Chain A
Amino acid sequence: MNQEPIIETHNLSKIYGNQLAVNDLTFSIQEGEIFGFLGPNGSGKTTALLMLLGLTEPTKGWARVAGFDSTKEAIKVKKIVGYIPENIGFYDDMNAIQNLQFIARLNNMPDSVSSIKIEEALESVRLKEEAEKKVGAYSRGMRQRLGLAEIFIKEPRIAFLDEPTLGLDPEGTNWIIDYIQSLSRDKNITILLSSHDLKQVQKISDRIGIMLKGRMIAVGSIEKLAKEKLGVDDKEISLDDIYMKYFQEEAV
C-alpha cells in the first residue's frame, strides 16, 4: 500500500448557497480497490463524485484522479473514468446499440472496433435480445445494465458508479453487484461504488467510507470498522449502528 493512490482528495468541499454539501473530504483509494461509498440520501456522495469527475467545481480543496487534477485536467480524467450517474438517462428514441455507439464515438473509438465490443458488452449484460429495442421501453434494471455495458466497452481504469442498484429488486441488485465484481476482477477496474445500503455493497467492497452530512465519518475495511467502532463481528454491522455510534461519540 505504498504506491500512489489512484484517487486522492484533500479538504474537498462544496457549498451550495448556504448548504454545505461536502465538507472537508480527505480520503484516497488505491488502484484495483472496490471502494464502497456509503451514506444516506443527501449526505454528499453525488456531489463528491461530480467534483472528482470535474463536472462541478469544488468550493475549496482539490481532487486528483490518476495524477490528474479533476478541475484543471477534467478531460484527461474523463478519458480514464467510466461514470454511471444516479438515475442514468439514455436517448429514449434510439436503441441500445445506437446509444452505445454514440458514446463510443465520443470516446474516439472507431465504429469497426466499437461494433464488436458493443455486441460483446450487450451479451455480457444480458441485453442481446433487446439490443434493437428503443431504450425508452427499457425497465429500470435494463437501463442500469446498459450503463454497465458502457463501462464494459470503454474499459476505463476507474469506474464511478452512483447508486447503480437504486430501485432494483433483490435479484436485480445481486446480479449488478456480481457484475461489478467481475468488472473489477477481469478488467482490473478500480471501482468507486456509491450506495445508501451497506448490505448491498459489503459483499464486494474492499473498504468503505461512510458519509454523513457532507463529512466522511468513518473509513476502512468493514472488519476494521466493525471491531474498532462497534466491537462486533462484521456480519452484524449495519450503517444505522455506525451512525448511532457516531452520534454518541459526538455527544461526548
Chain B
Amino acid sequence: MTGIGPIFRKELADHFSSYRFIILFALIAMVSLITTYMVGISLREELGGVAKPKFVFLMLFTSTGPLFSLVQFVAFFGPLIGLMLGFDSINRERSSGTLSRLAAQPIYRDSIINGKFLSGVATISIILISILLVVSGLGLKLIGVVPGFEEVWRIFLYLIISIFYISFWLGISILFSIVFRGIATSALATLAIWIFFSFFVSMGASVVANAIIPLDQSTREDTEMLMRHIRIQRIVSLISPMQLYNDSTAIIIDPTRKTTRSLVLMGPLERLSSERFRRPLSLSQSIYIVIPHIISLIAITFICFGVSYAVFMKQEIRST
C-alpha cells in the first residue's frame, strides 16, 4: 500500500482547513446542541419527581423535541456530510492537472482512492465523536443522570453504525467524482441520489406494495393481507441505506423496541402488546436483531467502493 500514508495525511489536512468542513461542522454542532438542550429540558420536566426509567440517558438521543430527535437528524443530514467530503475528490484533481502528476509517482493507483476514502472516514469519525461527546456532556448536565454501562455500549455501537452509514455516502460521492468529469455534475448527481433515497424509495415501496396487494375495502379488514402488504413495503424500502440505518440504530439506541419496524407500521397486535414496555431487549438481543442490517450496510459500502476501483483503475489519466 505504498503512498497511502502521505495521501491520507494531505487529504486530512485539506479537509480540516477547508471552509466546507468548518461550515458543515458548525451547522451540525449548532443543531445538535439546540436539539439536545430542548430535549434535555423537557425530559427534566417530565421526569421531575417520577422514578427514572431504565434508559433515560438514551432518551436524549431518541426523544423528538419540538422538531426532531438527534438520531433522526443524523439519519437525514449525515449523508450530506459524506457527500460533501467526497463529491469532487477525483475530478478536481483531474481538472487541475494534479492527477497525472500524482499517478506518475511510484505508488499504486488504488492508494489514491484508498487514501482519500480513509481520510474521509477519519474526518467523519472525528465529527461524530466530538458531537456525541458534547451532546452527552450537555445532557448529563441537564438531566443529571449518569449513563449506565449498557447505555455507553449502545451509544458506542450507534456511533460505529453511523460511521459506516456516512462512509457509504462518502463512497458514493467518490464514485461519482470518478465517473463524472465535471465537478458541478458530480455535485448534482450526489444530491439527486440523496433525494432519491430520502423521499422516493418510501414512495416507491408503497406503490409496489399497492400493486401486489391493493388496499381496498376487503383487504383493509383482513389483518393477514394488511400485514403482508406492510411486509412487502418494508422489504422494498430496505434497498434504501437510510432505511437500513434507521432500522438498525433504532433498535440499538431504543432498547424498548422489539422489531425493526417503526411504531406506526407495526401490526395491531404488536402495537397493543404491553410487554414491549415492560421488558426492554438486552444488548445482545438488540445486536442479534440488527446484525443483518449492519452487514447489508457494510456490503453496499464495499460494493460501491469496488465499483469505484474498477472504474478508476481502467480510466485514462491525462491532464488535458
Q: A residues near B, CB below 8 A?
A: 46, 50, 53, 55-56, 75-76, 78-79, 81, 83, 85-92, 102-103, 105-108
B106:A79 contact, CB within 8 angstroms: yes
Task: List which B83-113 residues lie within 8 A (CB) of chain A.
Answer: 96-108
CA distance A87 to B320 in the complex (A): 7
B319 CB within 8 Å of chain A: yes
A56:B317 contact, CB within 8 angstroms: yes
Of the candidates B2, B99, B101, the one whose C-beta lies within 8 Å of that of A83 is: B101
Q: B residues near A, CB below 8 A?
A: 2-3, 5-7, 10, 96-108, 316-320
Instruction: Answer whether A92 and B96 are a contact pair too, CB < 8 Å, given A55-B103, A106-B106.
Output: yes
B318:A102 contact, CB within 8 angstroms: no
A90:B105 contact, CB within 8 angstroms: no
A106:B6 contact, CB within 8 angstroms: yes
Name the distance in Å between A76's Cβ and chain B's nearest Cβ.
8
Interface centre among B7, B10, B108 (most CB of A within 10 A): B10
B106:A75 contact, CB within 8 angstroms: yes
B6:A88 contact, CB within 8 angstroms: no
CA distance A241 to B97 in the complex (A): 34
Name the distance in Å between B267's Cβ and chain A's nearest Cβ.
57
Q: Which residue of A lies closest to B96 (CB)?
A: A89
A50:B105 contact, CB within 8 angstroms: no
A46:B104 contact, CB within 8 angstroms: no
Q: Which residue of A lies closest to B111 (CB)?
A: A106
Of the candidates A85, A91, A103, A105, the one whose C-beta lies within 8 Å of that of B100 is: A85
Instruction: Answer whether A106 and B105 are a contact pair too, CB < 8 Å, given A89-B96, A89-B97, A91-B98.
Output: yes
Write out the residue numbers on chain B whose beta carbons fall within 8 Å of the beta carbon of A75: 2, 106-108
Of the candidates A76, A85, A86, A102, the one whose C-beta lies within 8 Å of that of B104 is: A85
16 A-B Cβ contacts within 8 A? A55-B104, A78-B106, A81-B104, A83-B104, A85-B100, A85-B101, A87-B319, A88-B101, A89-B97, A89-B100, A90-B97, A91-B96, A92-B96, A102-B6, A102-B10, A107-B105
